[in-house]
Amino acid sequence: MIEVLSVTGPASIQDLGRFDQYRFGVGTSGAMDDVALRAGNILLGNDENAAGIEIPMLPFKLRFDREMVFALTGAGVEAEIAGRAIPSWWRSHARAGDVLTIKAISHGARLYLAVSGGIEVPVVLGSRSTQFRGEFGGLHGRPLQPGDTLPCAPSIAAIGELGIEPADITLARPNAAPDETVVRVVAAGEYDGFDAATQELFWSSSWKITSQSNRYGYRLQGPALKPKAPIEKRSHGIVPGVIQIPPNGQPIIQMRDAQTSGGYPKIATVIRADLWRVGQARLGSKLRFERTTYTDALAVEAEMSAYLDRLRTDVRLVEETRTCR
């Protein structure tokens, strides 16, 4: 078990999400950076869908009540356990009573704390993920609070420390400015409802992520995008990654807690293999969209899968080597 001592902002328990409830109007939820959560679970020898803690704001502090192995992935952070500094993307060991203090984020927007065996809150509609709007999943369907105690499965990982290559380095995109995240998108249903000049504006502009952004959606600020004629649609199915254009012309990217339907025109959709990049983009930073094709999107998915395969192989080889000593 672990006890939350202090928390800033809406930290929550998330796994990879619930994907079989759309017909009931229930969205996916799940980790905003699913690559980081998967990597942390791989590092610990967990099932990759094991629940961890998503931490979007710091400082954050918790206490381990027993000996446990854990990993921090996602954003780069300044952290220490029992007064000893620990890096991100690293498997570390906690003793009973040790306090983990996470002080600051150096880059990225969200940190994931995975523990050996995973956090064992109840499964609700096929997932342990917190759904804030519906107030279910996670711990009582709400953000974590000081004093919360989180049950953990029995530890299964080896005790030895081990690091892995961060996704943001291995899968880095070229031609991005320091405060800019480049993500690949495919044109969506109403793309042709915008004239050529407006389409070019969408591709060429850098879009600021506003302070109104959260797990439901990222609201962007830039030049207004107006369709050739008003587009009025009945609400229809949408998924995380869809970029909608409301009447004010400022794009909204639907994120992991998005509703399952909406009526705003869709200009594009962030490909699934790049959605984690949006989740790690900070408020106030810039996004730039790069057009891609369905075929290329599948190739990017394969590249991400290859990265995760390398992590699985590397962790397994290290453990086998230690066992043979």
State the total domains in the chain.
2
Longest dimension (CA), the chain: 71
Note whether 100 and 230 are same-domain residues: no
pLDDT band at 322 (very low <50, low <70, confident <90, very high): low
278 and 158 assigned to the same domain: no
254 and 146 share a domain?
Answer: no
The pLDDT score that the predictor gives to residue 109 is 95
Asked if residue 130 and residue 87 are part of one domain, the reply reads: yes
Please check whether residue 325 lies inside any domain of the structure.
no
102/196 same-domain check: no
Whole-number Å distance between alpha carbons of 316 and 249? 49
- pTM comes to 0.94
- Whether 195 and 157 share a structural domain: no
Q: Are 144 and 26 part of one and the same domain?
A: yes
Last residue of a domain, one of 109, 133, 164: 164
CATH (domain of 239): 2.40.100.10
- Residues 88-107 pLDDT 10s: 999 999 999 999 999 999 99
Q: pLDDT by residue (tens digit) across 221-244?
A: 999 999 998 887 888 888 999 999
CA separation for the pair 54, 113 (Å, rounded): 7
Of the residues 164, 193, 222, the one at which a domain ends: 164
Residues 159 and 120 in one domain: yes
**From 154-158, 161-165, 231-235, 301-305, the region with the lowest mean pLDDT:** 154-158
Specify whether the CB–CB gap between 47 and 118 falls below 8 A: yes
Mean pLDDT of 273-279: 96
Give the integer Cα–Cα distance in Å for 114 and 279.
Answer: 18
**Higher per-residue confidence, 254 vs 177:** 254
Domain residues for 138?
A: 2-164
Whether 31 and 99 map to the same domain: the answer is yes
Contact 273, 297 (CB under 8 A): yes
Asked whether residue 317 is domain-assigned, the answer is: no
User: Is 192 a residue whose pLDDT tops 80?
Assistant: yes
Residue at 97 is within a domain: yes
- The one-letter code for the residue type at 322 is R
From start to end of 135-204, where are the E strands? 149-150, 162-163, 180-187
Average pLDDT over residues 178-199: 94
Print burial letters for 253-268: b (CB count within 10 Å at least 16), e (below 16): bbbbbbebebebbbbb
